[in-house]
A and B are shown apart, each in its own frame.
Chain A
Amino acid sequence: MASSLSAVGWNIRAYLLLARMWIRVSMTYRASFVTLTVGQFFITGLDYVGIAIMFSNVDTLAGFSFSEVAFLYGGSALCLGLADLVLGNIERLGTRIRMGTFDVMLVRPVSVFVQMCADEFALRRLGRITQAAGVFAWSITALDIDWTASRVAMLPYLVATGTVIFLAIFTLGAAVQFWTAESSELANAFTYGGSTLAHFPLTIYPREGIKALTFVIPLGFVNWYPSLFILDKPDPLGLPPAIQFAGPIAAALLSVLAAIVWRRGTRRYQSTGS
């Protein structure tokens, strides 16, 4: 136990070491860093602009007001942004495997998972996070609801479970590349694509879609179920209200699955012949 705890401590320290190194590298081109960060702020903000334009024509979307949809959007985008900051480049695993540079990581005394997470750590992703956090914060002030203690407590809960779910999905998407070693497009569909699905009230999707987003790829637990509680909305699937608090279970299950698949992937890793 003590030794595994110290291993965790060491790996966190190693992550910070590597991340700091990449931050320093990106800071040597300060102008380009600023441009990229501001660029990310605006480009990821376009999703939100789309939602705003839509609401200039309609008052509600599937029973949700503009500020409520902004709350859903902000929650999803913020969680994605945080996960993306922590391990966004893990999706490059396939490329590293193909180029043979993954071998190099395997001979260093740091977990390869940690090394992949920290790989080319990009602080410019704060652009997306700032934008999402801004929308999220604005929507909270704009919502016409009674902020009871339990609703307030639900906010950090939403951000924490949502981020862990995205972390697990990123990891799964990357781990699959141990088998395919092909492009990361499939992984991107689940992470960035999945986050986009969760920008909107799930009621706009067919029931099967909602079920899939609950039980298959549990993106519904990122922002949808906590929001049903916070915004006091009926559950279109009519599931017991307990599901609104089941996020940590979904996040834990998904994380365990991701860990297993990752581990199996590293064991079956074949390297490249050359």
Chain B
Amino acid sequence: MVSVIKVEGVGRDFTVRKKVGRLRRNAFVVTAVTDLSFVVQRGEMVGYIGPNGAGKSTTIKMLTGILVPSTGELTVAGLTPSVERTELARKIGVVFGQRTTLWWDLPLRDSFELLRRIYRVPDPRFRTNMRTFSDLLDLGPLLDTPVRQLSLGQRMRGDIAAALLHDPEVVYLDEPTIGLDVVSKSNLRDFLRETNRERGTTVLLTTHDLDDIEQICSRVMVIDHGRLVYDGGLTGLHQLGGARRTLVVDLVEPAAALELPGAETVRVEGPRQWLSFPADASAAPLIADIAERHEVADLSIREPDIEAVIKQLYTNTSAWSSPPPFVE
């Protein structure tokens, strides 16, 4: 495995000036990110989540070279972003959900053409990529429209294509699905998965939409108050949040609420019962127990709602003062 992103003990402070009284301004320091360490391997798709103001965008800005870290070391594709920024720019693609990297006044086609020259994309490669992106992102009908006239979803498709036109090793997407409709979101996820599979592009994506994570990321990093509080797979996240799974059983005959060790019956509706049990426990003994007492017609297990898991996680971690105990 080849590590593409290495972050070691990185922190970033901001000096903020606030007006106090009529003329005086006081400077104080806001710590956006503290002691951040992680490694991302080539071809990984990592979801980076956390509440508003947790430090996600600040992290991405340091990984692109926009911001210089206050402490710690980081390299991306072997380069130090803040020092070798313009060199790194050729190896990364960036999508900011909040603002476009395209030129407002240019038709999409001309923006791409200009990017081709700025990134010095070889002609055949450019044509191949344009064909692929036009296909997958359905850009064809938009190419002659100036960016300012595009809808948010259309613009985002343009931005994503622009970020990938030069075959970057790493793409960062900072809230790419914000404000998109369901169909656009789903197309975008398909496109990212496809790009990752075909080109081995490493993807780091911040989002509020946990569906994004569930559908494309094999790994999640959770940041809260500038600290990494979780780094691992989605399943581990469930356990960490103290989440519970639900076993739904359809009995052949209606029965009184089941009373089983290690589970709690939360709902009964005729022959159907809902049993809640810890996400990290196995369902097998539970099922065996039920089968011993009743005839079972059908069974299904519901995974915990990740939204609830994250909420739980935030409330748990916000109280922490020491370094995060949960890193898988």
Contact = CB atoms under 8 A, between A and B. Distances in A.
Contacts of B118: 14, 17, 108-110
A271 interface: yes
B99 A111 contact: no
A103 B66 contact: yes
Interface string A76-113: 00000000000000000000000011011011111100
Interface string A245-274: 000000000000000000000010111011
Contacts, number: 62
Contacts of B67: 269-271
B65 interface: yes
A14 B118 CA distance: 7
A216 interface: no
A274 B58 CA distance: 10
B114 interface: yes
A21 interface: yes
Contacts of B307: none
Interface of B is mostly: mixed
A125 B106 CA distance: 21
B106 A107 contact: no
Contacts of B58: 273
Interface size range on B against A = 20 to 34
B89 A17 contact: no
Contacts of A108: 86, 89, 118
Given A17-B114, A21-B114, A103-B66, A109 B119 contact: yes
B106 A103 contact: no
A107 B103 contact: no
A23 B61 CA distance: 31
Interface stretch (B90-98, B123-131, B272-280, B289-297): B90-98
Contacts of B101: 104, 107
B206 interface: no
Interface string B66-110: 111000000000000010011101101010101111010110001
A186 interface: no
Given A109-B90, A273-B14, A17 B117 contact: yes
B64 interface: yes
Contacts of A271: 61, 66-67
A25 interface: yes
A107 B98 contact: no
A24 B248 CA distance: 65
Given A21-B110, A104-B99, A274-B98, A109 B14 contact: no
A29 to B, nearest CB: 10
A107 B65 contact: yes
Contacts of B96: 103-104
A215 B66 CA distance: 36
Contacts of B94: 107
A269 B67 CA distance: 7
B89 A109 contact: yes
B119 A106 contact: no
Nearest to B83: A267
B15 interface: yes
B99 A106 contact: no
A16 to B, nearest CB: 10
A109 B15 CA distance: 28
A105 to B, nearest CB: 9
Nearest to A109: B89
A109 B101 CA distance: 13
A101 B104 CA distance: 12
A193 B23 CA distance: 28
Contacts of B66: 103, 106-107, 269, 271
Interface in B37-68: 57-58, 61, 64-68
Nearest to B62: A271
A127 B101 CA distance: 31
Q: Which interface residue of A14, A106, A274 has the most chain B CB atoms within 10 A?
A: A106
A271 B69 CA distance: 12
Contacts of B14: 270, 273
Contacts of A103: 61, 66, 96, 99
Interface of B: 14-15, 32, 57-58, 61, 64-68, 82, 85-87, 89-90, 92, 94, 96, 98-101, 103, 105-106, 110, 114, 117-119
The 8 A-B residue pairs with the shortest CB-CB distance in the complex, in nearest-first order: A109-B89, A106-B66, A107-B94, A109-B90, A104-B101, A25-B105, A109-B86, A107-B64
